[in-house]
Structure 1
Amino acid sequence: MAISAAELQNLAELGSTACAAGEDVLAVLRPRFPALTITRCPSSDVTESPFQQGDYFDLHLVDTSEHCWRLTNNMAATTAVLLAMHRRRS
C-alpha cells in the first residue's frame, strides 16, 4: 500500500493529538488506518533519521515487502510506519 503525503500528515496530526490527550496512540491510529501496519518503539532504539519529526514521536516509513523490514523515505514503498516515541514532555 502506498501512502500519500496527506495521509501521512493526517496520521501525524491524529497521533500527536492522541498523545497530547494522554490516549494510547496505537489504539487511536490503527482503526483509522486499517491497511497500514503501525508500530512504536522508544526513539532511542532508532538511529536512522526520521521521515518526519514531531513533539511526541518521530515518524519513520517502513517497507515490509521483503523478509526483513527496512526503513525507507519512499512513500510508494511504504507498507508500515514506525512511531519512535519521545519521552513524555512535562
Structure 2
Amino acid sequence: MNISREEINKLAHLSRLELDDKAVDKMQEDLNKILGFVAQIEKMELDGVEPLVYMTEETNILREDTVVQEITHAEALKNAPDADTDYFRVSTVKK
C-alpha cells in the first residue's frame, strides 16, 4: 500500500499544517516507509507471541498522590499579565 500526495495533503489540511511540495514529498516517502515496515510485521508468524507491555518484569512503585498547596490563589494571580479578582484573563481564541 502506498500513500498518495492527495492523502498527504488531506492529512496536512486536517492537521492544520502548511506543507510545501518538498515537505509533501518527504512526508510521502516517510509514511510509505512506515507502511512498508508494518507490512513486513503483518507477514510474520506471531502466533503464541505474548505482547510486550513493559520492558522489564519489575513492578512500578509509585508514591502516594497527595494534594499540596504550594502557592496561594493571590500569589498565582499576582504574576499574571492580566487578571481580575479571581481569574486569569486571556485573549479570545478564534477558529
TM-score strictly above 0.5? no
Which of the two has greater helix per residue? 2
Q: Which has the higher strand share?
A: 1
**TM interval, short-chain normalised:** under 0.3
TM-score relative to the length of structure 2: 0.23
Which structure: larger Rg? 2
